Amino acid sequence: MTDHQQPQQPYYPPQPPRPPYDPTQPVTTEPGTTIWPSGGHVPPSGGHVPPTFTAPAPAAPLPHRRAKRGVGLLAAVAIAAAAVGGGTATLVQQLTAADAPTASGVSGTNVSASSKGTVAGVAQAVSPSIVEISANSSSGKSTGSGVIITGDGEIVTNNHVISGASSIAVQLSNGKTYRAKVVGTDPDKDLALIKLEGASGLKAATLGNSDDVKVGDEVVAIGSPEGLTGTVTSGIVSALDRDVTVAKDDGQDQQRQQQYDPRQGWPFEFGGQEFNGDTGSSKTTYKAIQTDASLNPGNSGGALINMNGEIIGINSAMYSPSSSNGSSAGSVGLGFAIPVNTLKADLDELRDGGTN
């Protein structure tokens, strides 16, 4: 019996599954130069490498998710740099403006619409606390200014404004007039405290901190120069801690004072020179705030005020050069004020009668 052998079938090895798209093919630009897409390896020179399958790159995150991560990163940077300044927040806002939702406004501190911080605003707020003082004595009449510090009529002024006075009249900014009596004086500091008779409900000034005053700060002066009640001038602090020497009017030199022109201002010394007349043998020196705010005779005892409406000094001396005919000229921007911290340190003693 003859065996018949069945013909052997050809063997076909299993094929890999077909990719969802055709493999990327190299691009030939010129003989010898082949570009392989998708960041594949460059074949060695002269060799032929068949096309290979490159797995597709992961799908990119949705744009809105990437934007959120970017905003979060920038916000973290802004928080970390907050101590450096406000510029970081602006930078973050600019960088994220394209991706962040549109906002209806910009957050931050709004500029106040009030007049605080302006000369007009300061004048309106403080003028009711500044008074005109008229002091009568056997040697004549003097006019100065004062600052109300309590609602029941305590008023601070310069000692030289009321020294030796037999009677004192005080006119408020609203025109109402009161009689006043001396509570205490301190000739060494050229300060005095008087009290209105029968007054109540007055607007008291706010006493600031003269240690915070800096050269260049804007200031306002309010007083009654030449009897012009409630006159407002402004300027800057031009120097600090000036040694100013003034006549220590303790009531013993009243006759000698009559040689001064009352319109020329209280005599004082500064930098080794005398201004507005002879200060005499009885004098005192204090550290003063110098200002170029216009001060004239009658401003003595009035207020030097910062732009927050706080009293930082009591105006006490100014230089007014005399003209050739002997009459006084106006302010030349050389005025001095007793720092308010000097007043605050002396206030209890003044209330107890002072050092007179």
Active-site positions read 160, 190, 300
User: How many angstroms separate the Cα of 176 from the Cα of each of 131, 132, 179, 255?
Assistant: 10, 11, 11, 32
Phi-psi sector, 115: left (phi>0), alpha (psi -120 to 50), beta: alpha
Q: Is the dihedral of CA 235, 264, 204, 156 positive or negative?
A: positive
Cβ contact 225:109 at 8 Å: no
Helix-, strand-, coil-residue percentages of the chain, each rounded to 5 = 20, 30, 50
Distance CA 99, CA 200 (A): 63
C-alpha to C-alpha distance for 113 and 293, rounded to whole angstroms: 26
Query: Which residues have a Cβ under 8 Å from the Cβ of 28 and sit 6 or more positions away?
Result: 34, 35
12 token code pair: 């076909």
Q: Is 62 left (phi over 0), alpha (psi -120 to 50) or beta?
A: beta
Question: Which positions ≥6 away from 327 have C-beta within 8 Å?
Answer: 261, 263
Exposed / middle / buried, residue 143 (Cβ in 10 Å: 0-12, 13-18, 19+): buried
